Each structure stands twice: as C-alpha cells, then as structure tokens.
Structure 1
Amino acid sequence: MLKGLGQLGDMAKMMKAAQEMQGKMAKLQEELAEMTVEGESGAGLVKARCTAKGVLNGLDIDPSIFNPDEKEVVEDLILAAIKDAQAKAQVRARQEMEKITREMGLPEGMDLPL
C-alpha cells in the first residue's frame, strides 16, 4: 500500500503498532480490574482480596482472633494482609504487562505505565 514511500511506510507501521498497543493496554486494564489476588497474614488467619489493580474488595477474618485484649494485633494482621494482597496485585499486573510487551516484540524490561 505504501510501498515506495520509504520512511512514510515505516511511520505507518509504527502508527499501526502504536494503535495495536493502545488496544491491548485498554484490554489489559479491563482484565486487571477483574483479576483477583489474595494476600494473607497470621498464617492465614486474616485474608484480603483485591483486584490486580490493587482495589480492596474483601476480607476474611478467622473469628479466633477476636480477643479484645489483642485489638492491636488484629489491626496489624489486617493491615499486613491488605499490604500483601496489594503487593501481589502489583506483581500480577507487572507479569501481565510483560506478556504484552513480549507479544509486541518490545525490549524486555521496558516499563510501560499501567
């Protein structure tokens, strides 16, 4: 189609690749919002669930930890579980992004915004 136009043909290829990447990024954003990861603390006594985008959407707390004298311990366990889930969400999002960059033939380690 653009044969013989030299650099204009290359530019058209780059624009097409950019549009393709934009579409894949939009799809990835939707998928990350639906993926669920789970973090835990206290050997599973507190579990937190969040999307791969880091949005907290659930907690599961074992009733055995509800001792009024250990309120601070419970609070620490809850925070630890949430932080664990959010850290796993970041890892999962990064892994999904790496899949896309590999498919697009982009250099490994290229850090694209999520």
Structure 2
Amino acid sequence: MFKGLGGLGDMAGMMKKAQEMQAKMAELQENLETMTVVGESGAGLVKATATAKGVLTSLDIDPTIFNPDEKEVVEDLILAAIKDAQAKAAQRSESEMSRLTEELGLPKDMNLPF
C-alpha cells in the first residue's frame, strides 16, 4: 500500500502502534483503580485493602487485639498492614505494566507511562 513512499509506510505502522499502546495504557490505568490487594499484619489480625494504585479502601481489624494496655502494638499492626498493602499495590502495578510492555513487544525494562 505504501510501497512507493519509502519510510512513510513504516511511520504509519509506528503511529498505529503508538495509538494502540496509548489505548491499552489508558485501559490499564483504569483497571489499576479497580484491582485490589490486601496487606496483612499480626498473622491476619489487621488487614488493609488498597487499589493497585495504592489508594487505601478498607481496614479490617480483629476485635481481639483491642487491649487498652497495648495501644502502641495495635497502631504498629495497623501501620504495618497499610505499608504491606501499599507495597503489594506497587508490585501489582509494576507487574501489570510489565505485562503490557511485553504484549506490545517493547523492552521489558521500559518504564511506562513515559
């Protein structure tokens, strides 16, 4: 189709690929907001749920840990669960981005979005 136009045929193909990548990136960004991860601490006594974008959406605390004498322990467990959820969110987001770059035939270590 673009045979007589030299490198313009390649340019059209690159533009199409770029548009596909942009659409897939937008879809992935949207999906990251609905994917959830759960961070835990204290052998599951405290659970923090976050989106894959790292936004905390819920906190579940087993009532058996509410001992007034151990307030600092409870606070530490809550912080640990939140940090675990945030770390898992970052890992999930990175994994999804890596999967997308691989699908698009881009180098695995390429950082998206640009």
Provide the TM-score with structure 1 as the length reference: 0.95
Identity of aligned residues (%): 75
**Once the 2 structures are TM-superposed, how far is the Cα of residue 8 of structure 1 from its aligned partner?**
1.4
Paired residue total: 114
Deviations 1:59-113 (Å, cap 9, x if unpaired)? 1101111111111111111011001001001111111111111111101111112
**In the alignment, what sits opposite 1:48?**
48
Compare 53-62 and 1-10 and name the one that shifted more.
1-10
**In the alignment, what sits opposite 1:70?**
70
Unmatched runs of 5 consecutive residues or more in structure 2: none
Question: Is 2:92 the counterpart of 1:96?
Answer: no
Runs of 4+ displaced beyond 4 Å: none
**In the alignment, what sits opposite 1:110?**
110
**In the alignment, what sits opposite 2:83?**
83
Question: CA RMSD, aligned part only?
Answer: 1.2
Q: Hey, what's the Cα distance between the residues in 2 that align with 1:3 and 1:76?
A: 66
Q: Hey, what's the Cα distance between the residues in 2 that align with 1:60 and 1:8?
A: 57
Question: Is 2:26 the counterpart of 1:26?
Answer: yes
**Once the 2 structures are TM-superposed, how far is the Cα of residue 48 of structure 1 from its aligned partner?**
0.2
Which residue identity is paired with 2:75?
E
Q: Secondary structure at the match of 1:44?
A: coil
Q: Hey, what's the Cα distance between the residues in 1 that align with 2:2 and 2:75?
A: 63
Question: Is 2:61 the counterpart of 1:61?
Answer: yes
Conserved 8 A contact 2:25-2:113: no
